[in-house]
Amino acid sequence: MIFVSLALWLLQALAQNTAQVPPAQLPLQMGYRVTPDTVLIGQPFNLFIKVVAPKGVRFDFPVGPDTTTQNGVRPIELRGEKLVTMLGDTAVALYHLVAWDIGTQPLRFPDVRVTFEGQERRPPLGGASVFVKSVLPADTSLRVPKPARSLIVLPVFNWWLWLGLLAAAIAAVLLWWIWRRYRNRPKAPIDPYVRAQQEFARIEARRLLDVGRSADYFAAMVDVAREYLSARVPGVRPSDTTSELLRAMKPREGVEAELPRLLERADLVKFARAEPSREEAREAGSTLRALVDHVEARVNPESEVAKRMAAPKERAA
């Protein structure tokens, strides 16, 4: 019995010693290089990592550096994405970085993770750093970063200037509209008799008889008389022919009886190119002016011309 107990005790001790022997550590080699190792603020640089391990090993490289800001400044920033490749049992990673603060800046990369058959190793990258030199003179190298500015700065806008320009534009448009309405306002109607006298005076002022244009004088005087009759006598229209005008007007005694002869002579002058003499044209003009006075006195007994023509008759009576 003593021999059996001793054998069991030896086996238990051997088992405990076997359990306390640590397994073989996963063999690997890692190196990194920062190029260039001295840069300016904003100048890009590269971090190159190389890991050699047995076959079947899985590599997990960090996504990038820790981007937590320090005193409002982000020291290290990743540009683009990491580049990872395998060359046999060698894993290679390349990071494009940029620094935003001066001095020795640690890259602050998490450890590389290497796993194989349940074993894991984390080669550290905490020693990787870059030196960022200042472009300032030596006496101002100690600087305090400015506080971060607000994302949106709203400019001060002078609304009064634009409101004044808008009011001036509206006033200019309003004045132009008033002037246009005033220019295109309907003219006050002129009395047919007054207009006829104005046209007679205008024709006389042209002195057509003195330059040998008797036909033009005759036709113009007849046109004025026809326009007056169409405006004053009911039933007479500007487009009436000679016969239609005479039929609508029904000329009476006195100077109105000369109207058929004058209109027929005017048709010959206008359409047959008849040439009246100077005396004939002058006489026709006087007759037409007298005819207008006579018709005005007849259709408008309260007019001045009617009173003027009635005065000699009253004195004779």
What is the CB-side half-sphere exposure of residue 67 using CA atoms within 13 A?
8
SS3 content of the chain, % helix, strand, coil (to 5): 45, 20, 40
- Cβ neighbors of 23 (< 8 A, separation 6 or more) are 119
Cα–Cα dist 211/215, whole Å: 11
Q: What is the pLDDT of residues 130-164, one digit of tens each?
A: 888 877 666 555 667 777 777 776 777 788 888 99
pLDDT score recorded for residue 315: 59
Q: How far is residue 200's CA from residue 233's CA, in Å, rounded to a whole number?
A: 19
- As a dihedral over the C-alpha atoms of residue 217, residue 218, residue 223, residue 224, rounded to 10 degrees, the angle is 70
The pLDDT score that the predictor gives to residue 92 is 86
For CA atoms 128, 133, 139, 144, the dihedral sign is negative
pLDDT at 175: 94
Note the pLDDT of residue 179: 93
In this structure, which amino acid lies at residue 26? Answer: L
pLDDT of residue 88: 67
Angstrom distance (rounded) from CA 26 to CA 3: 42
Domains in the chain: ranges and CATH:
29-137 (2.60.40.10), 192-316 (no CATH)
In whole numbers, what is the pLDDT of the chain averaged over residues? 79
| Element holding 267 (H helix, E strand) | helix 259-271
Q: What is the pLDDT of residues 221-263, one digit of tens each?
A: 999 988 988 888 888 888 888 888 888 887 777 787 888 888 8
Handedness of CA 133, 137, 143, 149 (dihedral sign): negative
Stretches where the chain sits below pLDDT 50 are: 1-23
**pLDDT for 167:** 95
